[in-house]
Structure 1
């Protein structure tokens, strides 16, 4: 049984080393810098400002940011009507701001081209042409000389919205230009068919955030639940538009009211010095353990290194973000891991004084130490869970790091240390250790 524990521990450690080498760790805003934004939510006539609408906006923003490949952004409510966003390691702030702040409200509107010069007509004649429910707008287009012109268009009836969209994906038209392919839900497909049936020989305007991005003329009713958005798009614009459409529209409009570029709290030199201090600390702890407990102290040092490897590997596997509070939590659990080994060794020494066999002393020592270690760690784990539940931002990061460290430290102390003690022969060193 002990051999299985030892082999399993070795397997996990090797796997942990491979993970650490292959997978980079995510650093938080305080360690690598980034951008901090504060958004102001704005109610509309159709959507009052509520906590649910703000939470819905946070969910949409999170989906958009995840599509940008950013790791562990911090997005939370600030007050009643603001959203705080931290983006560590952001490389293109302007793209992120455009992705976050746009509402991305997609609308297909039944329309018709207005006669040129309609804006110069008297208001009464304009109203007759536009109709009671119509709205005059302008579609930017290029003429034969590639000059931008504005064509008047009358927007009449919203036929369907982004809520009827199932999926948006990239594509190219017959000329190789980038376009956006749309797939509608079954209900959306029916609405689109009805809209195109009403718009034969007329334009069907496609609006994004109330701005016309395309207004193709419809030749026939279109079934099948699919459509395209074409225009003078760049591949990047198509990609960003797809991200917005797939993430959905923000329930309420938001405005960026504060923007800060944040540098790392610790400079590169300070981080390098911190690494050296960390290594020096491990070495000093190892020397102390060997001095106090001789051979078993060396095994405890090996167990501590195993704890560090497994903890960092788990951080990387779950894509946790390492912040300064997180490092504090990790150091705290390192102390708990050392403390667990000290408790175990003292219990074993007490058993040895009873003149029991070495193996029995080890097993009884672990048995008696187990309850103390479990009580201390479970108490701290409960506190970490409460911090994660009630805390925000960096407090949650501290709680996650603390929780992972507690679980790994218990495993390394109870499983790895025990397997090493039972497997290595010169365990009589306990008798030479200081009482």
Structure 2
């Protein structure tokens, strides 16, 4: 018999209503956008003006307020393609390593004689010793400074340093594995810094992603020009190290002169407020490097950092006189971490320990370096898309979608009559579900994404066509209409699944291997495939069953 259990019917209706509810804010885009901006401003700045309250009241609080974000080609804005000079980090690493190499070789003065750093190619450290016969001992001592390479995934690899001797010259460079890990860290640090600076400007849903080995694509909708975006990225975030006075009870806690209250909201700690001395011990200018590592005694993940000579001396003096006291690492007025000083730190480097995982130690090391770009950026491409062009793109996309929609509806009704009407209703719900899913996941809709939706509209009725044609075949065998409909859905299911799985695989490949517009197309195409299969198999069938139960026709025409 042609039946659908009550719980199944209720579940189908619930899914459809939920999707349409989340899609609904997109029909009131301007109102919801002003509401969201007002809510974000009130939460960020803690002020409530009449204008902000009026904007917040434009949309009910109890309704979903997630929107499909409009991409650069639809809203207008600026686009930059930047190249990161990752090789500069190698030289910085060698400069920070020199004090440790010098101290190790000084302990071998009887074997290696006098030492002197000499000019070297970028990314290498060359040290000349006066007794070349002690080169083997010098190489062994410096190799002992190396640690296992730690990738972004936490995997341990070969030593970080490649140490060799040539004549009377000791040569130190980063190993190939460490260079690759350093490149990844440098790119991730650069992306994090750019993202923090762009977010600080309050722009909506920027796209900041890595392209290739050493390039970053930056797309910021709603910004005036590419030059404005370049100036924004060029600003300097502030990283400081402060003595901790005490924990604060809240943001309004009373403090004395030359003290400040700073919140802590990090991946490592829960939200907490600290009372800090206003004058920092160190600034981000003194930090040369920060990397995830492992404690040599406990094996637990830690974060190590390197200081320049001036910062190293200042840190040494401070830690000698403040053993057992906490100090705070502050970035953009947020405490990243507040470790306790375990002993004097005079080697120009330090270690931050705590309840870290590999992922959290990696993220904290990135944030520690987020006060300054690790390497220079060269802008290879820049472009500005005006809002008028974005409006034209939206209008063109709307026209294309409406034309495709109307053509499919006419074809289905003309070809399958009443059943075509059911398929058309499911198609309308399908488009609503697509926008509902896009809103929930916070996806960005671009012009290629609209093309994916238009393609989905054309493909969405494929499953219905297979079912209806199968029902026609079953009717030719003189089966009753109820049995023909039931068998039509059952026997067309495998063909529907096979056809859509292959298309979904292609969409997945496009998303994994593509970037930018290709990804936008693949996202809407993949979501459209899932929603169209759901509406074809469940929604259309539910409509047919309800109609059949009410009409009880002796014969049907498909």
State TM-score, norm by structure 2: 0.53
Whole-Å separation in 2 of the counterparts to 1:343 and 1:430: 20
- Report which stretch shifted further, 39-48 or 22-31: 39-48
Whole-Å separation in 2 of the counterparts to 1:183 and 1:266: 40
Q: Could you say which structure has the greater relative contact order, defined with CA pairs below 8 angstroms and 6 or more residues apart?
A: 1
Classify 1:184/1:340 alpha carbon distance in 2 versus 1 (closer, same or farther; 3 Å): closer
Whole-Å separation in 2 of the counterparts to 1:176 and 1:25: 46
Following superposition of structure 1 onto structure 2, how do residues 380-399 of structure 1 map, counting pairs within 5 Å? 380-399=503-522
1:413 maps to what in 2? 536
1:27 maps to what in 2? 70
- Of the three residues 87, 92, 104, the one matched with 1:46 is 92
SS at match of 2:461: helix
Classify 1:79/1:185 alpha carbon distance in 2 versus 1 (closer, same or farther; 3 Å): closer
Contact 2:226 / 2:383 at 8 angstroms: preserved in 1?
Answer: no
Whole-Å separation in 1 of the counterparts to 2:378 and 2:499: 46
- Of the three residues 376, 389, 397, the one matched with 1:254 is 376
1:74 maps to what in 2? 207
1:13 maps to what in 2? 16
1:128 maps to what in 2? none
- Report which stretch shifted further, 2-11 or 53-62: 53-62
1:365 maps to what in 2? 488
1:432 maps to what in 2? 557
Per the TM alignment, residue 16 of structure 1 is displaced from its structure 2 partner at its CA by 1.7
Contact 1:28 / 1:323 at 8 angstroms: preserved in 2?
Answer: yes
SS at match of 2:92: coil
Per the TM alignment, residue 247 of structure 1 is displaced from its structure 2 partner at its CA by 3.1
State whether structure 2 residue 421 is matched by structure 1 residue 298: yes
Classify 1:91/1:8 alpha carbon distance in 2 versus 1 (closer, same or farther; 3 Å): farther
State TM-score, norm by structure 1: 0.66
SS at match of 1:392: coil
Per the TM alignment, residue 30 of structure 1 is displaced from its structure 2 partner at its CA by 1.1
State whether structure 2 residue 453 is matched by structure 1 residue 330: yes
1:23-56 per-position Cα deviation (integer Å, ceiling 9, x unaligned): 2210111111222223332313134595543432
- Structure 1 unaligned runs (5+)? 110-158, 160-168, 187-195, 197-202, 231-236
Contact 1:41 / 1:54 at 8 angstroms: preserved in 2?
Answer: no
Whole-Å separation in 1 of the counterparts to 2:397 and 2:488: 36
- Of the three residues 185, 189, 199, the one matched with 1:60 is 189
Classify 1:308/1:411 alpha carbon distance in 2 versus 1 (closer, same or farther; 3 Å): same
Per the TM alignment, residue 421 of structure 1 is displaced from its structure 2 partner at its CA by 1.1
1:281-317 per-position Cα deviation (integer Å, ceiling 9, x unaligned): 4244323322222211111111111111111100110
State whether structure 2 residue 479 is matched by structure 1 residue 356: yes
Classify 1:280/1:40 alpha carbon distance in 2 versus 1 (closer, same or farther; 3 Å): closer
- Structure 2 unaligned runs (5+)? 26-64, 94-122, 124-177, 244-249, 269-276, 288-309, 338-362
2:285 maps to what in 1? 209
Contact 2:78 / 2:229 at 8 angstroms: preserved in 1?
Answer: no
- Report which stretch shifted further, 319-328 or 273-282: 273-282
Per the TM alignment, residue 406 of structure 1 is displaced from its structure 2 partner at its CA by 0.8
SS at match of 1:209: helix
2:327 maps to what in 1? 226
SS at match of 1:432: coil
1:114 maps to what in 2? none
Per the TM alignment, residue 252 of structure 1 is displaced from its structure 2 partner at its CA by 2.8
The number of equivalent residue pairs is: 353
